[in-house]
């Protein structure tokens, strides 16, 4: 009897394992219990840390090392992934490599001072490398400056407040982005893709500051100040572009995805980018539909399978893709907060936490790969023939 063909398609387990590491741990655990099964690693990403590694694993390409500014100044190493095909050269860029939360110790996180200037430098490097298309993923950012630093790095303005984080943007002068139209025109020959990790607008009750600023370390008072600051940035950007291409209201500030990456999405939309959810970019790159159709079971996972997972994230998109071809999906996550009924509604047949009992939590923290492998081995006992 032939073994089960299992497609291993996890997201990163944030703070513990990259998606590639998670897929490897799942494979090791399943093989221990069911060595006769065929295991196909297919790590996924929602545009956060590890996005470039996931695309590299699926598509290959050339990694180009660069050094750019970090979220708090200084210099940090980063890599561009260049992929050449019959459509030209595509550069895959991961904003988190330049301004990721993981680059700032938790007690020191301050979205009012973190800058996205390094992301603009990454974009410059991609264009200089001859990219006809740049796919920039926004997940995991520490900055919350509306992409002001990114725009400054591209030459849209040289006012110091643009590179100083989101906190001071409320004091921007009207001409702070005087070069924005020229930068936009200069990028007209490059297809920009905003690979967003969220569909939040830049401002408003459901905007970036209201929903995500706290997760970057902001207090409630700071979140309110950031809201006003990003609103001022949007006004200044509108004023700068009105002569080149008329926009209405605050232009792109209310667009879906403008709030992604603390407003990196806003800056990219200003430059003419097309928004595609990052998970959709990855689904296409890894040919998930074809891989799921060839499998008997899909195994996915993430750090927390919670309510936020149900909206445009890796797990529901993987499950929906598998459901379309009649293949069951099983989730193994660090924590499971979604009920069985809600899981079934998005196509998840079963969901298992890595730590089944409180006393297992210490093992999960000290050896996340080993704990995940052990849990998957027990899941294989149920789902393998």
Q: Give the C-alpha separation, 310 to 313, whole Å.
A: 7
What is the pLDDT at residue 247?
46
| DSSP label of 334 | S
Task: Report, as an integer, the average pLDDT of 301-330.
Answer: 91
Residue predicted with more confidence, 6 or 250: 6
At 38, list the tokens. 């065929």
Q: Give the C-alpha separation, 99 to 209, whole Å.
A: 17
Q: Give the C-alpha separation, 204 to 216, whole Å.
A: 18
Instruction: With cut-offs at 50, 70 and 90, classify the pLDDT of residue 363.
Output: confident
Q: Which CATH code is given to the segment(s) 51-279? A: 3.90.1510.10
Give the range among 122-126, 251-255, 314-318 with minimum mean pLDDT: 251-255
**For 42-52, what is each residue's pLDDT tens digit?**
999 999 999 99
**For 9-18, what is each residue's pLDDT tens digit?**
999 998 899 9
What is the pLDDT at residue 80?
97
What is the pLDDT at residue 1?
55
User: How far, in whole angstroms, is CA 166 from its chain's centroid?
Assistant: 20
Task: Report, as an integer, the average pLDDT of 107-126.
Answer: 96
Q: In the chain, where does the domain assigned CATH 3.40.50.10350 lie?
A: 5-44+287-383
For Cα atoms 119, 121, 123, give the angle at the middle one, nearest 5 degrees. 75
Q: CATH number of the domain at 5-44+287-383, out of 3.40.250.10, 3.40.50.10350, 3.20.20.80, 3.40.50.2300? A: 3.40.50.10350
- Residue 254 in this model has a pLDDT that exceeds 80: yes
Q: In the chain, where does the domain assigned CATH 3.90.1510.10 lie?
A: 51-279
**For 231-247, what is each residue's pLDDT tens digit?**
999 999 988 886 545 44
Supply the Cα-derived Rg of the chain in whole angstroms: 21
Q: Which residue in 214, 208, 249 sits closest to 228, CA to CA?
A: 208
Contact between 276 and 283 under an 8 Å Cβ cutoff? The reply is no
What is the pLDDT at residue 298?
98
What is the pLDDT at residue 359?
73
What is the pLDDT at residue 248?
44
């Amino acid at each position: 009897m032939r073994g089960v063909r299992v497609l291993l398609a996890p997201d990163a387990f944030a703070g513990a394992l990259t998606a590639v590491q998670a897929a490897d741990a799942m494979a090791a655990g399943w093989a221990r219990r069911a060595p006769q099964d065929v295991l196909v690693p297919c790590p996924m990403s929602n545009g956060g840390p590890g996005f470039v590694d996931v695309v590299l694993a699926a598509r290959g390409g050339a990694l180009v090392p660069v050094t750019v500014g970090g979220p708090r100044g200084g210099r940090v190493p980063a890599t561009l992934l260049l992929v050449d095909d019959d459509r030209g050269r595509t550069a895959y860029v991961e904003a988190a490599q330049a301004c990721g939360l993981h680059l700032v110790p938790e007690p020191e996180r301050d979205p009012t001072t973190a800058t996205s200037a390094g992301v603009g430098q990454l974009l410059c490097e991609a264009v200089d490398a001859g990219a006809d298309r740049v796919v920039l993923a926004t997940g995991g950012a520490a900055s919350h400056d509306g992409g002001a630093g990114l725009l400054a790095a591209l030459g849209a303005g040289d006012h110091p407040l643009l590179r100083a984080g989101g906190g001071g943007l409320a004091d921007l002068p009207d001409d702070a982005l005087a070069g924005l139209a020229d930068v936009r025109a200069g990028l007209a020959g490059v297809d920009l893709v905003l690979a967003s990790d969220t569909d939040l607008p830049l401002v408003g009750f459901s905007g970036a500051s209201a929903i995500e600023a706290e997760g970057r370390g902001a207090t409630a008072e700071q979140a309110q100040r950031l809201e006003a600051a990003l609103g001022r940035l949007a006004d200044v950007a509108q004023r700068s572009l009105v002569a080149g291409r008329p926009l209405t209201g605050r232009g792109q500030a209310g667009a879906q995805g403008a709030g992604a990456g603390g407003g990196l999405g806003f800056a990219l939309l200003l430059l003419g980018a097309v928004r595609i959810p990052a998970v959709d970019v990855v689904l296409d790159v890894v040919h998930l539909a074809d891989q799921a159709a060839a499998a008997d079971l899909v195994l996915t996972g993430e750090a927390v399978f919670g309510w936020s997972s149900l909206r445009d994230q890796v797990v529901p998109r993987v499950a929906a893709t598998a459901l379309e071809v009649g293949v069951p999906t099983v989730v193994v996550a660090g924590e499971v907060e979604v009920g069985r009924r809600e899981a079934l509604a998005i196509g998840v047949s079963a969901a298992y936490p890595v730590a089944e009992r409180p006393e297992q939590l210490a093992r999960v923290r000290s050896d996340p790969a080993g704990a995940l492998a052990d849990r998957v081995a027990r899941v294989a006992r149920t789902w393998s023939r």
